[in-house]
Amino acid sequence: MTNDEIFSKVQAIIVDQTGEDAEKVTMTTNIKEDLDADSLDIFEVINEIEDEFDIKIETEEGIDTVSDLVGFVEKQLKKAK
């Protein structure tokens, strides 16, 4: 799965969970600050991403931007191979 494919799925999940426009969710978007996501929003996003990619995200620490999240998913998928 390419970085762009991961981003598209992550973006769709974030848009679905936060109700934000897709244009506002870019690789540089800070999930908490730019989208005003609270801990419940982030929890729901993480759960959806875990289900979508069949991975486990133990902690959201170090995941601030969409890019951080996409990179984390990409690493987890490579480990799973």
Catalytic residue ranges: 38
Report the C-alpha gap between 50 and 46 in whole angstroms.
6
The β-bridge partners of 65 are 30
Q: At what angle do helices 39-53 and 66-80 cross, to 10 degrees?
A: 30
